[in-house]
Amino acid sequence: MGLTLEQVVPWGRSLEEYIEMFDLIPTDRPRHTLDCAGGPASFNAEMTSSGHSVISCDPIYQFSVADIEQRIQDTWAILKDKVTAHQNDYIWNRFASPEALGATRLESMRKFLQDFPEGLKAGRYAAHELPVLPFQESQFDLALCSHFLLTYSDHLSEQFHLDSVQELCRVAAEVRIFPLLKVSGEPSPYLPAVIAQMQRLGYKAEVKPVPYEFQKGANQMLKICR
Ligand SMILES: C[S@@+](CC[C@H](N)C(=O)[O-])C[C@H]1O[C@@H](n2cnc3c(N)ncnc32)[C@H](O)[C@@H]1O
């Protein structure tokens, strides 16, 4: 893909948010999990510190801690201001204000940065990118993809989505994708084609409600399993 750091807008979410976005009940959590497009989320750091097995992949993991940290410093206030300008597109019960949101995201990204060097050495962070992942078939019990597939439907093609979802289903027994809306808040136009393809291939693919809603209307995930 030839990713440059300037193309990445780091905005990492916490374990608490992942639990609600993917409706992870406690028995889902001890499984061997892939966080695909994990970015600067603290999911891996927080899960690892409570004894769970997680690998995160994302092309930004090719960059150094210092470079990612600098990119976070350069962009987080801009992101917070963007959310402030579009406040009506969000539900403000989880976060009291754009300032509180910015502080929470910064804290998640700080946890990620602290964990990243050790996790990189341990192979818990890997610079792999969709649509092709170098993992074995069914290596993971669960693959999660937050705020990448479907979210960026205006930038990534339908074919990219079809290939990527099939790849995630190759490496994991179950795949969950959240949200189903684009950045603009409109439904991703690729969802019906993704569901149809996976059903044709013999998978169970269903839209499920989740207890998380920050972007208005983004309260469902796509769950795919054999
Ligand atoms: C908005 S962030 C989401 C981060 C995290 N999942 C979260 O919800 O907090 C999207 C991430 O997708 C990553 N990304 C971009 N292209 C990718 C690809 N082809 N495969 C996997 N991840 C990719 C970006 O580097 C970025 O970190």
| CB-based contacts of 59, cutoff 8 Å, min separation 6 | 1, 3, 127, 128, 129
Q: How far does residue 88's CA lie from ligand 1's centre (Å)?
A: 25
Cα of 147 from ligand 1 centre, angstroms: 7
Which atom in ligand 1 lies closest to the alpha carbon of residue 12?
Answer: 9
Q: Strand 54-57 and strand 33-36: pairing?
A: parallel
Per-residue pLDDT of the chain (226 residues; tens, 9 = 90+): 466 777 777 889 999 999 999 999 877 666 899 999 999 999 999 999 999 999 999 999 999 999 999 999 889 888 888 899 999 999 999 999 999 999 999 999 999 999 999 999 999 999 999 999 999 999 999 999 999 999 999 999 999 999 999 999 999 999 999 999 999 999 999 999 999 999 999 999 999 999 999 999 999 999 999 9
Please give the distance, rounded to the nearest whole angstrom, from the Cα atom of residue 68 to the centre of ligand 1.
Answer: 13
How is the chain split among helix, strand and coil, in percent rounded to 5?
40, 20, 40
Ligand 1 centroid from CA 192, angstroms: 22
Q: What angle do CA 163, 125, 170 make, to 5 degrees?
A: 30
Name the 3-class secondary structure at 131: coil
* CA 154 remoteness from chain centre: 17
pLDDT at residue 2 in the model: 63
Atom of ligand 1 nearest to the CA of 151: 1
Pocket residue to mutate for ligand 1, from 13, 21, 58, most atoms within 8 A of Cβ: 58
Q: Alpha helices of the chain — where are they, by DSSP H?
A: 15-21, 43-49, 65-85, 98-121, 158-171, 191-200
Find, among 224, 155, 137, 219, the residue nearest to 185 by Cα.
Answer: 219
Question: Which residue has a Cα nearest atom 23 of ligand 1?
Answer: 37
Please answer whether residues 221 and 190 qualify as being in contact, where contact means their C-beta atoms are separated by less than 8 angstroms.
no
Which residue of 148, 153, 161, 210 sits with most ligand 1 atoms within 8 Å of its CB, as the best mutation to test the pocket?
A: 148
Q: Using a 6 Å CB cutoff, which residues line ligand 1?
A: 1, 8, 11-13, 36-39, 41, 58-60, 129-130, 146-148
Give me the pLDDT at residue 1, please.
44
Q: Which amino acid is at 14?
A: S
Distance (Å) from CA 96 to ligand 1 centroid: 26
pTM confidence score: 0.96
Residue 1, classified by CB atoms within 10 Å of its CB into exposed (0-12), middle (13-18) or buried (19+), is exposed
CATH number of 5-225: 3.40.50.150
Per-domain boundaries in the chain: 5-225
